[in-house]
Amino acid sequence: MRRIAKHVVLFFALVPLVVVSFAGTARAQAGVTTHMGTLDDGATYLIEVPANWNGTLFLYSHGYVIPGAANPALDVGDPVTRFFMLSNGYALAGSSYATTGWAIQEALMDQISVLDEFKNTIGDPKRTIAWGHSLGGIISAGLIQRNPERFDAALPMCGVLSGGVATWNTALDAVFAFKTLLAPGTGLQLVNISNPVANLDLAEVVLTEAQATPQGRARLALAGALGDLPGWFAPLSPEPAPTDFAGQETNQFLWDQQVDFPFAFAFRAELEFRAQGNVSWNTGVDYRRQLDRSIGRDQVRALYEQAGLDLDADLKTLNETARISADPEAVQYLERNIIFDGEIHTPVLTLHTKGDGLVVVQNESAYKNVVDEAGNGEFLRRTFVARAGHCAFTPAETIAAVQKLINRLDTGRWQDVDATDLNNAAAAQGPLFNVFSILDANGNIVSLVPTPPAYIEFEPSPYLRPFDALNGECEFGFLCRNPFLQFGLH
């Protein structure tokens, strides 16, 4: 897995961090008491409490850790945000989780154990807020669903809020089109992956060859469209124009090459090992309908026409190709780890970049839909940043979201959760917090770019493969809302 990690290291270097000198200053921040230890299952934890603690605890859930990689306990996303939080009296805590990879099962237990450690060591917080990035976003939402009595609010950032089942179904749609149209007969494994390294190598070869021809690029765009892959990759670049279909496809190629393919063709194996089988299916899916609903439909049609390809013929091929079924017990594992029922009764504020190609912004539509269906829309507010990248927020943007959520708790109602207000709040933090850092492949900062806040008013399109719980029985009894469920299981 270390060699596979090289494929994604540049991607993770796009996540905003801070200058090393400031990070060292923040870590040595005066008046902060630090507690570290090990939980019963081997996970480590980190707790930091400032001398001027205001009684509020933020429990941080970190994102996906590449299987086998270093896995330290984290209690905040970046050192600058940490400096702000501790300086303003907030306590921070978080765990490593007992394992790497799709460690949601362990995280949901370990994070509650950290709260117990905090209570035993420090005392009861007046209020506790779950927050986290990426996989930590789905974990944060899962924590308040599973343990509502332990939390007062949540801030999932760039979170996998469509839930585990929908996420991996969507990934399957994209790679199914990729293999069917570009790599038939190659032995490329979409599920039940036996050799992750060799499988990813094969996928990367096919990807590179496809990118070299107009026909290949059109078919790559179609595969990406079935997952609503955005045509915007570099965080500090301008978004390609709506009709710059070639530029969009180039960016989609970069998402596939540097980020998404390692998850789809290699890291999936770690999840399948956990679940003891294949967690995804595409039986019953009409790919013609999926394309019609996708944000990439116009791009795909234009690139197919330019390449002289018959789009109808390729869609017919997709719809007539033998499908993939899921293993019921494996799907049940993924349901438990985790899907959503919309039963939130404390404030939840979400944050997402528009051009996220790993956890697409349509995840926010999936979560809102199930919350609204449960009649709890009053508790949810969503915010969006006009930037490419996964979790590509500046510290100032994160702080503005924190302040908005705290205000909701203090006043009992949402006030001015709009882009203008959030941008003003972020800008007020000054130049130290309104920065975006670019790292090299070794994690070293190569440039620090002043970056103004970029909150926007935005409404994502519907999620293409919804799957969520209608009631508590769904997790264990398979009673879920999904038009494809009846076709998907053996």
- In the predicted structure, residue 27 carries a pLDDT above the cut 60: no
CA gap 472, 336 in Å, rounded: 11
CA gap 298, 315 in Å, rounded: 15
Mean pLDDT across 31-44: 97
CB atoms within 10 A of CB 147: 15
pLDDT reported for residue 476: 32
Q: Are residues 173 and 304 in the same domain?
A: yes
Token pair of 349, please? 């504020």
52 DSSP assignment: T
Domain assignment of residue 300, given as a range: 165-334
Mean pLDDT across 46-61: 98
- In the predicted structure, residue 147 carries a pLDDT above the cut 70: yes
pLDDT reported for residue 21: 38
Q: Are residues 225 and 355 in the same domain?
A: no
The CATH number linked to 121 is 3.40.50.1820
Angle ∠(464,289,250) on CA atoms, nearest 5: 65
355 lies in a domain? Answer: yes
Q: Are residues 35 and 157 in the same domain?
A: yes
- Report the mean per-residue pLDDT for the chain: 91
pLDDT band at 200 (very low <50, low <70, confident <90, very high): very high
Q: Are residues 176 and 323 in the same domain?
A: yes
Mean pLDDT across 89-96: 98
pLDDT reported for residue 490: 39
Q: Are residues 322 and 356 in the same domain?
A: no
Direct distance between the N- and C-terminal alpha carbons of the chain, in angstroms, rounded to an integer: 31
CA gap 159, 364 in Å, rounded: 8
For CA atoms 208, 209, 212, 215, the dihedral sign is negative
**Letter string b/e over residues 294-308, b meaning 16 or more CB atoms within 10 A of that residue's CB:** bbbeebbbbbbeebe
Per-residue pLDDT tens digits for 305-337? 999 999 999 999 999 999 999 999 999 999 999
Q: Are residues 64 and 23 in the same domain?
A: yes
CA gap 258, 228 in Å, rounded: 17
pLDDT reported for residue 182: 98
- The amino acid occupying position 263 is F
Per-residue pLDDT tens digits for 265-304? 999 999 999 999 999 999 999 999 999 999 999 999 999 9
227 DSSP assignment: T
Q: Are residues 101 and 68 in the same domain?
A: yes
- In the predicted structure, residue 351 carries a pLDDT above the cut 70: yes
CA gap 349, 359 in Å, rounded: 17
Number of domains in the chain: 2
453 lies in a domain? Answer: yes
List Cβ neighbours of 198 (8 Å cut-off, separation of 6 or more). none
CA gap 43, 165 in Å, rounded: 26
471 lies in a domain? Answer: no
- The amino acid occupying position 367 is Y
pLDDT band at 194 (very low <50, low <70, confident <90, very high): very high
43 lies in a domain? Answer: yes
